[in-house]
Amino acid sequence: MDELAGVDETVLTDDDVRLWATRAGSGEPVVLCHGGPGLWDTLADLAGLLVAGATVYRWDQRGAGRSQHTGPYSVERSLADLDAVRAHFGLERMALLGHSWGAQLALEYALRHPDRVSRLVYVSGTGIDHASSWRERHGLLERELLGDRVARWEFLDKRGAARTADEDREFCVLQWSTDFTGSTGSTGSTNRGRQEALAQAERMATPWYGVNFACNAAINAETKRIVGTAELRARCEALAVPTLIVDGAADPRPRDAVDSLETALPAVSRVSLPGAGHLPWVEDPHGFRRAVGTFLASHVSRGTA
């Protein structure tokens, strides 16, 4: 998209790690936090929906994509890196939009630094209860949605670190295909839907930078120790930052997992987009832009930016 053309920038963290970042658009600052962990920024299409009314900042988290592949990999380090992006662009306050793991990162940053966050958009996260409340259901549905490709996915899964680079990509494309609905409105529920979902996953994996599985494992393990605690819920109950939760109703990660966060936050609204999966802006771009754009604009008009 021409409106996303911008100059790549290098953010230098306080431990001298180089992070790729870019910005586009004009208006109030919105910093995007992509999913993973261990992935690169896949939010260019999402940014394109917002640039008409905001300056949108994207970055690759450390260890992945165009950023330096250097540890340590931890929640604490990820928060410091996000703050380095903020400081690099000279932002006193910013809206944060996080997707999947990035939603958890954005939430934790807002909890730590509410004075630096004007508003929070929490997209396709999994709430603040322990993963045991939803992980098994997600795994069962994931295998169902893979259909006749489940045997190949299981074979690649078992190969683990022995996979080649091409097999890593194939494994991820198969897994990511369960996050899309195709044109069926129910995640890959027909053969046509699965084919379309697979094509969407191929697009997400292009260009391919490779997944940092060590980063993924380290941060996921740490996150599991944080969620589901009374302390986390109490911190969320005290968060005054206006928050919008956005779900794709057909996300294979059970959406009731997010109820825990919705009931904890004092200044929250929630939008569920029918027929959309884990990446709702892909399958309902108009609904996503309307929901997020309206939320961001309304809080600017109230003087919270």
Give the model's pLDDT for residue 305. 37
Task: Indicate the pLDDT class of residue 304, thresholds 50, 70 and 90.
Answer: very low
More reliable by pLDDT, 134 or 209? 209
Q: Quick check: 297 pLDDT over 50?
A: yes
Give the model's pLDDT for residue 119. 98
Domain 7-133+224-301, CATH among 3.10.180.10, 3.40.50.1820, 3.40.50.2300, 3.30.420.40: 3.40.50.1820
Cβ–Cβ < 8 Å for 204, 42: yes
Task: Indicate the pLDDT class of residue 132, thresholds 50, 70 and 90.
Answer: confident
Name which of 33-47, 87-101, 176-190, 194-208 the model is least confident about.
176-190
**Domain locations in the chain?**
7-133+224-301, 135-204
pTM of the model: 0.94
Give the model's pLDDT for residue 97. 99
Give the model's pLDDT for residue 190. 63
What lies within 8 Å, CB to CB, of 148 at 6+ separation is none
Q: Quick check: 2 pLDDT over 50?
A: no
Neighbours of 111 (CB within 10 A): 17
Give the model's pLDDT for residue 186. 53
Q: What angle do CA 5, 10, 12 make, to 5 degrees?
A: 155
Task: Give the C-alpha distances (Å, rounded to integers) separating 299 from 113, 233, 264.
Answer: 18, 24, 20
Q: Which pair of structure tokens corresponds to residue 41?
A: 């920024």
The residues that bridge with 24 in the sheet, in sequence order, are 56
Which one, of 100, 78, 104, lies nearest residue 236 by Cα? 104
